A = this chain, B = another copy of it.
Amino acid sequence: MNAPVTIRIQQEDFDTAREIAALSRGRTDIGAVVTFSGICRGPEGGDEIASLTLEHYPGMAEAEIKRHADEALARWPLQGLTVIHRFGRVTPGQNIVLVVTASKHRQAAFEAAQFLMDYLKTSAPFWKQQEGAEGKGWVEAKTHDEDAAARWTK
């Protein structure tokens, strides 16, 4: 099976439509495409987030994502997948991460996208620093993200 894998760590924004098209154009063996876009949220309930700055570990970030992409391909019958993760400064409303999965059937596409997102949250070497009215601060890792990732090892 021809399952193209695209992984990019980049500062610039991405175009979800272009990535879907790149994965599915000219193919008639794909029945389901799932996309997940992670977006920088703005202030809520008092705290003012003006921006997020994403730091990453070049080299290792790509390697970790590749490892999980390969695992996704081994676990689900995918026709292709794309993972794009930005680094640098992003402001509310802007894209942070994109996962696209393509399969014959919807269940595989949904599960693989969730699997990849859960691992990106807990295992890919990226760190978010938020900057707001009260200054800068590193975002803390969330227990529920660890829990979400753990379900795939059951």
Contacts and interface: CB of A to CB of B under 8 A. Distances in A.
Nearest to A25: B93
A110 B110 contact: yes
Interface string A137-154: 000000000001000000
Interface residues of A, number: 35
Copies in the complex: 2
Nearest to A28: B42
A66 to B, nearest CB: 21
| Closest 7 pairs between A and B when the two form their complex, measured CB to CB | A28-B42, A17-B17, A28-B92, A33-B37, A35-B35, A31-B41, A28-B93
Interface of A: 15-17, 20, 24, 26-44, 92-93, 104, 106-107, 109-110, 113-114, 117, 148
